[in-house]
Amino acid sequence: MKKAYGNRQYTVITIFVVVGLIFVARLFYLQLVDDSYIISANRNALRFVTQYPSRGLIYDRNKKLLVYNEAVYDLMVVPKQVKVFDTLEMCRLIGITKDDFIIKLKKARNFSPYAASIFEKQISKENYGYLQEKMFKYSGFYVQSRTLRKYPYPIAAHTLGYIGEVGPNITETDKYYKSGDYIGMSGLEKYYEQFLRGQKGSKIIMVDVFNREKGSFQNGSFDTVAVAGEALYSTIDVDIQAYGELLMQNKRGSIVAIEPETGEILTMVTSPSYDPNLLVGRVRGYNYNKLLKDPTKPLFDRALMALYPPGSIFKIVQSLIALEEGVITENTGFPCDKSLVGCHNHPNAYNVKSAIKMSCNPYFYQVFKRIIQHGLANNRFSDSELGLNLWADKVKSFGLGQRLNIDIPNVKKGFIPDSKFYDKRYGFHSWAFSTIYSISIGQGEVGIIPLQMANIATIFANRGYFYTPHFVKAIGKNQKINPEFLQKHVTKVKDKYFQLVADAMYEVVNEPGGTASMARIDSILVCGKTGTAQNPHGEDHSVFIAFAPMKNPKIAIAVFIENAGFGGVWAAPIASLMIEKYLTKKTKRIDLEKRMLEANLMNLR
């Protein structure tokens, strides 16, 4: 019995010895090996500062700087360390009231009494200079630097986008971001956020009882270096972007120009627009609300989000599909029968080229009728269904009715109707060509955004294919590019038909009877197509697409001006001036330029 209790005694002693050794080992590790608890214990004497990286710069296609960074400063607070001081003096230095001070300090305490949070953000360099001299008085406060975006050219606001403070929906799902961080909210800033943002670093600084910095903790051995974001080399040409925005002043609409051989977007103008510098810094919230309430809707990106009927520019697509399906030949003619659909006065179109040149509505009524009533079924309803689906399939190969996957978010895909759409609207087999004939001239249910219009011009410039339009040609030093932008997209129409229509587009601009004589340039062969898109709520819209030069095209362009009437009067001259400016770097037609610049078309409805 004594021996049994003796064994238990040794067991208990052994347990105590082992536990004691564990505690000794743990204390040895914490005190001599692991510094994290030392850092935590000294938190009241150490300052943990986030090192924000410089956001990546953005350049135009000629390496002109479009977006750079400017230093600003956030006033940080650790509520537990705050002691009594002259609050009125601080309020005066940073431009807030005493009531604001009380509210901000309460908010910081609610966030955490011990952790630092932003007390006042985006203090300017000038105010920071005055504040820094007094910081030793304000226990618990310190200044942390960061950068804000600046725009040397007040242009391309919708393309470049803007940055804003992250919300809880982002901080909860992405651990990189903390409250008070900034993120790309729109445009290139949003799409390329992961490249532009860089990588945050951190720094531990020792401070004395007077809130004065005394150097890095342990010679910076716990610090990490911030890594700057990567630069974007965009496809935008700053000169024609600025010129386009100037031409579109006092007009509603957009201009989109693309380099056909690459798909690189040279310019994207949406009007009315705004100076991107308005959405930077402490005035951002005020300016955003002001722009939001502006009745001209300057925040709305018409080039990517406004859905319009294409009008007569759609006739060149109709021509190709009809030729491909064999329902017409290049020499097919139709009389200009205004009893079918309205048209302006001109001679009868005796072939495809003359129909395009004169933009004859009844001609394309007959062309579309042959496409839809193709003789694929005995019943006219079934025949119309088969014909429309065949047509829609080919139209979509032009990048219509689907989202062009460009490197900017929030792009509409437009709309191309098919049999399912009309079955839902009118009932199964309750519609035929006579119901949908307005599509023949680019009206009715067809909807296209201006980017897609420019892409159509690109397809004709390339005689049958396009590359996905995009805004960035390289990222950082590695010259990366999305491989999707290098893939050729070929339409479902044979190459041989494109030259015929390109020749017709040349005649539209350069031959007597063409509808776009005001787009003619003496030294450059411009090929184009006008459009006058009907507007049930007021004046018709002015539309023009073009490419130039005719051989080896360097620019394809679309101009859409709301409520401006005939495409040859306003959209065509503006497109022509843009082409001349891009290809020759100057404008010779001063009188035409003056008329376009001075025109105010905003009040036309």
Confidence (pLDDT) at 12: 64
Averaged over 381-392, what is the pLDDT?
Answer: 94
Confidence (pLDDT) at 212: 65
Of 84, 80, 104, whose CA–CA distance to 94 is shortest?
104
Check pLDDT > 80 for residue 327.
Answer: yes
Is the pTM higher than 0.95? no
CA distance 415 to 402: 7
Check pLDDT > 50 for residue 358.
Answer: yes
Beta bridge partners of 149: 69
Confidence (pLDDT) at 571: 96
Q: In the structure encoding, which two tokens stand for residue 472, read together?
A: 């960035």
Check pLDDT > 70 for residue 36.
Answer: no
Averaged over 2-18, what is the pLDDT?
Answer: 64
Confidence (pLDDT) at 554: 98
Q: Which residue is associated with the tokens 């019995």?
A: 1
149-199 pLDDT, tens digit per residue, is: 999 999 999 999 999 889 888 988 888 888 888 899 999 999 999 999 989
Averaged over 74-82, what is the pLDDT?
Answer: 87
Q: How many whole angstroms from its chain centre is CA 347?
A: 44
Confidence (pLDDT) at 200: 87
Q: In the structure encoding, which two tokens stand for residue 538, read together?
A: 């007021």
CA distance 416 to 403: 12
Residue that wins the pLDDT comparison between 397 and 9: 397
- By residue count, the chain amounts to 605
Q: In the structure encoding, which two tokens stand for residue 23, read together?
A: 């505690």
For 382, counting Cβ atoms within 10 Å of its Cβ (0-12 exposed, 13-18 middle, 19+ buried), the class is middle
CA distance 25 to 560: 77
Domain locations along the chain = 2-34, 46-156+201-234, 238-274+301-598
Report the mean per-residue pLDDT for the chain.
Answer: 89
Confidence (pLDDT) at 40: 47
Residues 6+ apart with CB under 8 A from 1: none
CATH topology of domain 238-274+301-598: Beta-lactamase (3.40.710)
Residues 6+ apart with CB under 8 A from 149: 55, 67, 68, 69, 70, 162, 163, 189, 276, 280
Residue that wins the pLDDT comparison between 232 and 283: 232
Tell me the pLDDT band of 223, cut-offs 50, 70 and 90: confident
Give the torsion sign (CA, 18, 24, 25, 27): positive
Residue that wins the pLDDT comparison between 493 and 27: 493
Residue that wins the pLDDT comparison between 18 and 257: 257
Tell me the pLDDT band of 51, cut-offs 50, 70 and 90: confident
126-141 pLDDT, tens digit per residue, is: 788 888 888 888 888 8
Confidence (pLDDT) at 236: 98
Q: Which helix (H) or strand (E) holds 17?
A: helix 2-28
Confidence (pLDDT) at 122: 85
Name the CATH superfamily housing domain 46-156+201-234. Penicillin-binding protein 2a (Domain 2) (3.90.1310.10)
The answer for 416, left when phi > 0, alpha when psi is -120 to 50, beta otherwise, is beta
Q: Which residue is associated with the tokens 């497109």?
A: 575
Check pLDDT > 90 for residue 37.
Answer: no
Averaged over 99-119, what is the pLDDT?
Answer: 88
DSSP letter for each residue of 345-396: S-PPB-SHHHHHHHT-HHHHHHHHHHHHS-SSSSSHHHHHHHHHHHHHHHHH
The share of the chain scoring above pLDDT 90, in percent, equals: 63
Residue that wins the pLDDT comparison between 534 and 213: 534
Confidence (pLDDT) at 221: 72
* Residue 58 and residue 232 in contact, taking contact as beta carbons nearer than 8 Å: yes
Rg of the chain on CA atoms, in Å: 33
CA distance 558 to 308: 13
Confidence (pLDDT) at 489: 97
Check pLDDT > 60 for residue 33.
Answer: no
Check pLDDT > 90 for residue 470.
Answer: yes
The string over 48-83, giving b where at least 16 C-beta atoms fall within 10 Å of a residue's C-beta and e elsewhere, is bbbbbbbbbbbbbbeeeebbebeebbbbbbbbebbe
Tell me the pLDDT band of 41, cut-offs 50, 70 and 90: very low
Check pLDDT > 50 for residue 43.
Answer: no
Confidence (pLDDT) at 435: 94
Averaged over 410-424, what is the pLDDT?
Answer: 95
